[in-house]
Amino acid sequence: MSKFYEVRTRDGAARLGKLALSESMQTPLMLRLESGDGLAVVRAGDSNFDDLASEETWTALRGTVLLPEIHPSFTNVTSLFTDFFVLAFASSLLRSPRDFVRRVIDTRNALPPDVALWVPAIATPENAAILFYMGVDILDDTNAVLKGYQGIYQMEDGEARISDLEDLPCNCTVCADLSIDELRARDRKERALLLARHNTLLLDKEVKKTRACIRAGNLREYVEMKVRASTFLTAVLRLLDFNEEPYFEQRTPVARKQIMNVNTMESLKRIEVKRFASRVLDRYEPPARQILLILPCSARKPYSRSNSHTKFIEAIGAYRGSIHELILTSPLGVVPRELEVVYPAALYDIPVTGYWDSEERDWVSSCLRAYLNKNQKSYEVVVAHLGGAYKEICTGVADELGIEIMFTCETNEKATSNEALNRLNARIAELCTDRKRLYGYEQKSGIVKAMADFQVGIGAGSELMTSKEGERLKITGKFPFHKLSADKEVLARIVPQYGLLTFTLNGARRITNLRSSYKVEIGDFVPRGSILAPGVVNADPQIRVNDEVVFCGDKAFGVGRAKMSGWEMVQSRKGVAVQVREVEEV
Ligand SMILES: [Zn+2]
């Protein structure tokens, strides 16, 4: 439990926070050990350790050394009144990538979320970003200074002995005014101080860079790029992706404004990708239509705004009401047309070369296989307007499942060529018994319903969209800015910037599952603006950052957007838990 630390912004497990030292400081933080004033750190077994069990003596920022469980002085720490923990024997993290992952994640899991974690004496400009990505809040310059005294010059992507360098590849205040020969000519102590200064400045720059990434919500992309220079850190990231999925799932927002850039093999393992794929299976029901049409993705999002999809839609236009469209894409797998606005379907970018590596093929195939396995009974016919690798994936899955898929593209043909489009048009006309366009309301309501199910769970959409006696539902606004109203009262709106559906109080009242599974119970007050963590009595553990939630207490009922995960709202003593949209006194 902390008193002088507050987490303000999250990007996955990484956090921007405020530490009330003698002056207020931001985490991720690089502490300069020479100026360590204002910090009171005690070890288990120290004479004033007992003070940490009470709140009364707590008047300044304080921290506790966290000993491994095997240590004789190990104490269970979660109930202590302390602002930060110092991970003891952190240098043992460097023994293997596995130890690195295990100890940091175990430690973070053992600590309350509103307490900062300091991993001392191991920070380098190379590993700082991934340490913060894992949920560490504080590093220090010990290693940078030490390396300086050892004659080691640190760089963004590694280090070298000063004797091996030909040049100083840096523009910091030390390197800008000095040539390598001048540096070598200095006496030992002065050289060590200059090197230490350069190493510290570089680490500080890296910490600032990480803070900027967290603020921008793209730390994952930065980490994928950073680890490339080191096999050790690449192994750390892969182990995190393979073994620590629950840890990151609990901390990853359900939606956000930032584009997800899928540039590396590790990007396929992102929580956002896995979560989308599993929700398409668990929280989506296709509409009753005769034909399933599988289409390739487009670079422009939402897909239906792209040139290629405009052509596909034109080709099937007169029969669109009998067709359900499914988009095949890497890395999301399959995107039903109604979910094309949802995060991250409308907010991802991937380099398109026409070449798919085997891991990408396997993943996308598994998504298509799972979808068809579950939903093929809903369709009479499956048509695929796909060429190249898309077609190969689709053929493989059809063979495995023993289902027949009609292809309307030749293998090496562009799906947007006139021949292919004509073939698509002719095949659809042949399969459909009569012309049936997809009319405005049916199309729009399909989107709103699917998005509600996807966010809250199956059934939410139909509850939201069932009109009560005498009531008239209406969807206004141009795609994708749809707004659902009942007799002029707004129920829900699509917010395409986030890929989310937001609910009004009236909309939320209709959805049982929103009220039961996305519920935040608050104390005896009427919130204005935002609900702070201490005001939360209980919150559903499945709530994630940016989820739509309902809050209720003795005096208020309302809707808003979660700013931390449900478990974090319950365990934290500081910070904004929910941003209030609408509230009503009860
Ligand atoms: Zn420098």
Q: Residue 95: its pLDDT value, please?
A: 93
* Phi, psi angles (nearest 5°) of residue 5: -130, 140
Peptide bond into 344 cis (omega under 30): yes
137 in any annotated domain: yes
Q: Which residue, of 408, 431, 454, is where some domain finishes?
A: 431
- How many domains does the chain divide into? 3
Rounded distance from Cα 208 to ligand 1 centre (Å): 16
Residues 360 and 213 in one domain: no
Rounded distance from Cα 172 to ligand 1 centre (Å): 4
Asked if residues 367 and 328 have their Cβ atoms less than 8 Å apart, the reply is no
CA 283 to chain centre: 19
Residue 344 domain boundaries: 265-431
Residues 223 and 328 in one domain: no
CB atoms under 10 Å from CB of 526, counted, come to: 16
| Residue 1 clears pLDDT 80, i.e. is over it | no
Radius of gyration of the chain (CA): 28
Rounded distance from Cα 196 to ligand 1 centre (Å): 10
Rounded distance from Cα 160 to ligand 1 centre (Å): 13
Q: Which residue, of 404, 431, 458, is where some domain finishes?
A: 431
The residue ranking higher by pLDDT, 573 or 448, is 448
166 in any annotated domain: no
Rounded distance from Cα 151 to ligand 1 centre (Å): 14
171 in any annotated domain: no
> Which residue, among 13, 217, 4, 8, has the nearest Cα to 132 in the 3D structure?
13
| Residue linked to tokens 């001392």 | 120
Residues 208 and 71 in one domain: yes
Query: Cα angle vertex 219, ends 215, 222, to 5°?
Result: 130
Rounded distance from Cα 155 to ligand 1 centre (Å): 8
Rounded distance from Cα 170 to ligand 1 centre (Å): 4
Rounded distance from Cα 24 to ligand 1 centre (Å): 27
Query: For the domain that residue 544 is a member of, what is the CATH number?
Result: 2.30.130.10
Residues 225 and 280 in one domain: no
Query: For the domain that residue 47 is a member of, what is the CATH number?
Result: 3.20.20.105
- Structure tokens that stand for 123 in this block: 């920070």
Rounded distance from Cα 174 to ligand 1 centre (Å): 5
Asked if residues 135 and 147 have their Cβ atoms less than 8 Å apart, the reply is no
pLDDT in tens, 287-341: 999 999 999 999 999 999 999 999 999 999 899 999 999 999 999 999 999 999 9
Residues 291 and 225 in one domain: no
Rounded distance from Cα 227 to ligand 1 centre (Å): 21
281 in any annotated domain: yes
DSSP, residue by residue, 304-336: GGSHHHHHHHHHHGGGGGGEEEEEEETTTEEEE
Residues 136 and 39 in one domain: yes
Residues 485 and 381 in one domain: no
Query: For the domain that residue 279 is a member of, what is the CATH number?
Result: 3.40.50.10630
98 in any annotated domain: yes
Residues 302 and 411 in one domain: yes
Residues 537 and 406 in one domain: no
Residues 372 and 512 in one domain: no
Q: Residue 362: its pLDDT value, please?
A: 97
Q: Residue 273: its pLDDT value, please?
A: 97
Rounded distance from Cα 77 to ligand 1 centre (Å): 40
Rounded distance from Cα 417 to ligand 1 centre (Å): 55
Rounded distance from Cα 96 to ligand 1 centre (Å): 29
91 in any annotated domain: yes
| Residue 559 clears pLDDT 80, i.e. is over it | yes
Rounded distance from Cα 150 to ligand 1 centre (Å): 16
Distance CA(194)–CA(83), nearest Å, equals 34
CB atoms under 10 Å from CB of 63, counted, come to: 23
Rounded distance from Cα 217 to ligand 1 centre (Å): 28
pLDDT in tens, 482-524: 999 999 899 999 999 999 999 999 999 999 999 999 999 999 9
Rounded distance from Cα 202 to ligand 1 centre (Å): 7
393 in any annotated domain: yes
154 in any annotated domain: no
Rounded distance from Cα 552 to ligand 1 centre (Å): 55
Asked if residues 153 and 192 have their Cβ atoms less than 8 Å apart, the reply is no
Distance CA(303)–CA(464), nearest Å, equals 26
- Average pLDDT taken over every residue of the chain: 93
DSSP state at residue 467 = P
- Structure tokens that stand for 199 in this block: 């190493």
SS (H, E, C) 49-118: HHHHHCCCCCCCCEEEEECCCCCCCCCCCCCCCCCEEEECCHHHHHHCHHHHHHHHHHHHHHCCCCCEEE
Distance CA(266)–CA(235), nearest Å, equals 11
Asked if residues 123 and 30 have their Cβ atoms less than 8 Å apart, the reply is yes
Residues 97 and 209 in one domain: yes
Rounded distance from Cα 193 to ligand 1 centre (Å): 12
pLDDT in tens, 344-401: 999 999 998 888 999 999 999 999 999 999 999 999 999 999 999 999 999 999 999 9
Asked if residues 384 and 297 have their Cβ atoms less than 8 Å apart, the reply is no
CA 98 to chain centre: 23
Residues 313 and 423 in one domain: yes
Rounded distance from Cα 181 to ligand 1 centre (Å): 15
Amino acid identity of 545? V
- Rounded to 10 deg, the angle between the 97-110 and 231-243 helix axes is 50
Rounded distance from Cα 171 to ligand 1 centre (Å): 5
Rounded distance from Cα 497 to ligand 1 centre (Å): 40
